[in-house]
Amino acid sequence: MAYDMSAGYAAPGSTSLQDDALLPMFNIERVSLQFSVASDFVAAAVANNVLVLALSTGRILRIDLDSPADIDDIDLPKKASEIGVIKRLFLDPSASHLIITTTLAENFYLHTQSRSPKALSRLKGVVIESISWNPSQPTASTREILIGASDGNVYEVYIEPSSEFYRREERYLKGVYKTNDGPVTGLWTDIVPGRADMRRVIIVTPSSFLHFAGKIGRHGHEGSGSIFSKLFETESATVHELGNVSSGVVSGLAISPEAVESPGQDHTNAERLFGWLTSQGVLTGKLHLSSDTSELGGRVLGESKMVPRSQIPPSQSASGRTRKSQEPVQSMILSQWHILQLVDGRIVAINRLDDTVVLDQTVLEPGQSALGLVADLKKNTYWLFTNQEIFEIVLTDESRDVWKIMLKNQHFDAASQYAKTASQKDAVATASGDYLVGKGQYMEAAAVYGRSTKPFEQVALTFIDKGEQDALRKYLLTKLSTLKKSSIMQRMMLATWLVEVFMAKLNTLDDTITTKAELSESMNTAETQDQLSVIRKEYQDFVSKNKADLDRKTVYEITSSHGREQELLYFATVVNDYNYVLAYWVQRERWQETLDVLKKQTDPEIFYKYSSVLMAHVPVDLVEIMMRQTNLDAQKLIPAFLNYNNNTKVPLNQNQAVRYLLFEINQHQSIDAAIHNTLISIYASHPTRDESALLSYLEGQSYANEQNYDADFALRLCIQHKRVQSCVHIYSSMAQYVQAVDLALKYDEVDLASTVADRSNTEPALRKKLWLAIAKKVISQSSGIKTAIEFLRRVDLLRIEDLIPFFPDFVVIDDFKEEICTALEDYSRKIDELKKEMDESEETAAHIKTDIKALEQRYAIVEPGERCYVCGLPLLARQFFVFPCQHAFHSDCLAKRVVELAGIARGKRIAELQTEVSKGTSVGSKREKAIRELDALVGSSCVLCSEMAVKLIDEPFITATDDKEEWAL
């Protein structure tokens, strides 16, 4: 069998266009069969895209519609003559379990994994009319299911496939309920949300609809016993009964398929629709879900409605006349929005919302009988089976007209939910708004109008004429949210109008609060105050979201004209216009508010702009804030610091300009000369006479071997403000010791001058000059000679004769006679020491002359067998040198050794002289001069015990060329 839609039968009016809006909602197509069978279909079932067909011969065809070429052909274990013809097929929603019942009440079970149906022996003789599958839809076993029989009994059974030959498929079978009004034609079970131990069970007979909801029983392990017995024993049913029901009338229960709009949701907890086919029509409603089961049945039946049988139009006779009697409904199923019924070969579809007939189409030929309508609850497909043919009822965009019906019934929320196109949504919004305005529900209407295309002017004037400013505000907000970002002018106009509306509302609330307080102090204004807070928060949210649509200048003007300070500043903050906020608070001299705003800033330009005024009023807090910033250029803050220093008279340890400058220097390691010069300027110009702070700074620079300040600038300032110690320090750091001492002496700072003279690392002449200047000052200031003499004793460089020129002419020598005598004695002692040294030198010179004469007569004895200390050959074999130390060498051996040990220059000169003497290139006195120079270079000292030998102390005794065995011990 092949699933070929194109080869099927198309209903009149069908079209090949692919646009769902142009295709008919219902299209009935005949499915072409690619196989032949010798017998008719007697039963059919569809679930989860699996089609099961039963043939009159007892064969069962199982076809997967996703791959229709693969067909399972299954035979029942016994012949039809023994067990009867197959009467009904019951396929669970997952297509895993199939129960087959025959005309002789024989029942069989077939699992999807099996090809051999197993007889259900415990169900033998039970005529099955309906089955309620387990809502968890298991695949390994059926778990607990309910079976409705033709005798009114409801059985609970647990079926599990078994490979053991003697083991029954049914774990247990138990009758759990019994009706008294005919066969059980429909069953349904689902789980109460959030309550795994609770179930809802619906039982349908031709004349009654029973709704049970309650707890089920539990057992030690699954499948060990009935779980529904407790439910039916303890709970009473909510019942809907029909009277005067004739026997043999077709009855059944249909449940709508799982919702296709949200395929990912848990369908077991989704509210489904039910349809109960009766002789009077179809009772349809929603299967509400609630954890409170006490009123669940009443709610389900209370909100249900009967679609009467008379709603189905009568069929036409062969002659074209309308039949007066109504044909019975043969079968009924539910789609998401329609009730599909099979009536006399026709398929009639009725919209369950407004009971309108949307399809009435004859499908079967005259005399052709149908097995019935079947719905695939998993895949949302719908089928019609006859004895020889299969039709699929294809639904295209089934919910396309739902919004119209909802709108007509004034269910605007639902209509908006199902409206798909922009025009549909607009129609719903406009109608909903008009309805709400008519009911006086202006706030609700504003939200709806905002999503519609109703003329803006009409809506706005409606709210203005009604005095509904709140509704107008809500409408404008909603309208603004629907405008595109590209509609710049429209968005700006709406946003600006909203600012005006917000300000007016806030002022009205403020006036209301004030008026109530004046009329009665005891009157409770809490509600108005709460409303004020709500509106203010709404304004803040609006500004934050739509700041790009607002013109700053316009908003400032509107807000200021209403006197709304808080809203004005909030807007400025949201748009990051902190200059405006700061200027606002500074103008009003609200320093704490200014600082609060400044704490949140990181833009350096803001600090530069407001530093002068804030340093004048809140310097401590400002410096605290600036010290937390990392991107400030302190040089741009200097004008503020200088202005602050000029106008503020505080001690240096409380001066905030000094505090920040020191922070920059010590923490940020600033070497900017402007920063250092500013600090010196503040230190130097301060009224205090204590210059320890300035001096400490200058000394710190010197200790760090730095001078980040301008020395000339600092010197001028210190001289101008008479900071003598600092001036002296600067002069000293510049090595201008004379100027330093002169300045110190100018201000009678003798000790300071003495310190400079003591620490000056200069030549003795300069030091003496400095001390002479100090001595001159001391002598000129002293009241007596003794003071000068005491100063003289402190200095080692000066003598009494150096100070005599500085004494006045009238000074009597007796006043410093002792010092003069001491000096003369000292000079006499030094003369004696010099005379003694001269005598010793004369005696040493005489000894040297005697030694020189003795050297002229000195000689050395060379023995006949004496050898050269270099080559070891007899010394007398050729020209040789003998040294006073008795070491003797051949002339050439000594020269070679001296060349090796002497420097490069000396060795080169020896080689040149040897060449000159050996070749005889020079004669006479020139040759003798060369020989004398060569002898002097070679024989100046012994190579074994002179200074040259000492230089060889780091060379090893044994070299690589020596015979090591000779040195072996």
Q: DSSP for 84-141?
A: --EEEEEE-TTS-EEEEEETTS-EEEEETT-SS-EE-GGGTT--EEEEE--TT--SS-
State the total domains in the chain: 4
Is 923 inside any structural domain?
no
Comparing 81 with 117, the larger pLDDT belongs to 117
Among the ranges given (388-397, 551-560, 809-818, 937-946), the one the predictor scored with the smallest mean pLDDT: 809-818
What's the N-to-C CA distance of the chain in angstroms?
A: 117
- Predicted confidence at residue 746, as pLDDT, reads 78
For residues 665 and 742, membership in a common domain is answered with: no
For residues 719 and 791, membership in a common domain is answered with: no
User: Does residue 808 surpass a pLDDT of 60?
Assistant: no
Interval 156-165 mean pLDDT: 82
406-415: per-residue pLDDT in tens? 888 777 777 8
HSE-CB for 959 with a 13 A CA cutoff: 4
Is 509 inside any structural domain?
no
Q: What are phi and psi of 88, to 5 degrees?
A: -140, 150
- Predicted confidence at residue 802, as pLDDT, reads 53
**Which residues, other chains included, contact 662 with Cβ-Cβ below 8 Å and sequence gap of 6+?**
679
677-721: per-residue pLDDT in tens? 888 888 888 888 888 888 888 888 877 777 888 888 888 888 888
- Predicted confidence at residue 751, as pLDDT, reads 66
For residues 727 and 781, membership in a common domain is answered with: no
For residues 691 and 656, membership in a common domain is answered with: yes
Task: Express as a percent the part of the chain with pLDDT over 70.
Answer: 83
For residues 656 and 713, membership in a common domain is answered with: yes
Residue 737's pLDDT band (cuts 50, 70, 90): confident
Using alpha carbons, list the distances in angstroms from residue 363 to 13, 252, 359, 596, 656.
14, 22, 12, 82, 100
What region, left, alpha or beta, does residue 491 occupy, with left being phi > 0 and alpha being psi -120 to 50 degrees?
Answer: alpha
864-923: per-residue pLDDT in tens? 888 998 898 888 888 888 888 888 988 888 888 888 877 777 778 878 887 887 776 666
Among the ranges given (358-372, 490-504, 773-787, 798-812), the one the predictor scored with the smallest mean pLDDT: 798-812
Is 468 inside any structural domain?
yes
Interval 821-829 mean pLDDT: 69
- What dihedral angle (degrees, nearest 10) is formed by the CA atoms of 410, 413, 416, 418? -90
162-198: per-residue pLDDT in tens? 776 556 778 889 999 999 888 999 999 999 888 888 9
Contact 131, 146 (CB under 8 A): yes
**Which residues, other chains included, contact 224 with Cβ-Cβ below 8 Å and sequence gap of 6+?**
171, 172
- Global pTM? 0.57
User: Does residue 786 surpass a pLDDT of 90?
Assistant: no
Interval 748-772 mean pLDDT: 65
Comparing 16 with 417, the larger pLDDT belongs to 417
Is 907 inside any structural domain?
no
For residues 639 and 727, membership in a common domain is answered with: yes
Question: What domain range is 456 assigned to?
Answer: 399-482
- Helix, strand, coil: what percent of the chain each, to 5? 45, 20, 35
For residues 746 and 807, membership in a common domain is answered with: yes
Among the ranges given (159-163, 361-365, 803-807, 945-949), the one the predictor scored with the smallest mean pLDDT: 803-807
Helices (H), 879-960: 891-901, 904-919, 925-938, 947-950
For residues 442 and 429, membership in a common domain is answered with: yes
For residues 700 and 778, membership in a common domain is answered with: no
Is 406 inside any structural domain?
yes
**Most confident among 10-24, 84-98, 824-838 (mean pLDDT):** 84-98
For residues 692 and 776, membership in a common domain is answered with: no
Comparing 778 with 637, the larger pLDDT belongs to 637
Residue 45's pLDDT band (cuts 50, 70, 90): very high
Is 271 inside any structural domain?
no
Is 759 inside any structural domain?
yes
51-80: per-residue pLDDT in tens? 999 998 889 999 988 887 788 889 898 888
In whole angstroms, give the CA distance from residue 519 to residue 178. 76
Is 571 inside any structural domain?
no
- Predicted confidence at residue 650, as pLDDT, reads 84
User: Does residue 345 surpass a pLDDT of 50?
Assistant: yes
542-594: per-residue pLDDT in tens? 888 988 888 889 998 998 898 888 888 888 888 888 888 888 888 888 888 88
- Predicted confidence at residue 145, as pLDDT, reads 94
Structure tokens at 500: 């005006």
User: Does residue 111 surpass a pLDDT of 50?
Assistant: yes
Which of 811, 843, 874 is the last residue before a domain boundary? 811
764-781 vs 785-794: helix axis angle to the nearest 10? 160
For residues 643 and 727, membership in a common domain is answered with: yes
Interval 769-794 mean pLDDT: 61
Which of 776, 811, 846 is the last residue before a domain boundary? 811
Comparing 323 with 351, the larger pLDDT belongs to 351
Average pLDDT value over all residues in the chain: 81
Interval 644-669 mean pLDDT: 86
Structure tokens at 566: 């808080």
User: Does residue 797 surpass a pLDDT of 60?
Assistant: no
Which of 703, 731, 759 is the last residue before a domain boundary? 731
* E strand or H helix that includes residue 381: strand 381-386
Interval 334-349 mean pLDDT: 92
User: Does residue 458 surpass a pLDDT of 50?
Assistant: yes
**Which residues, other chains included, contact 914 with Cβ-Cβ below 8 Å and sequence gap of 6+?**
895, 934
For residues 713 and 772, membership in a common domain is answered with: no
- Predicted confidence at residue 324, as pLDDT, reads 57
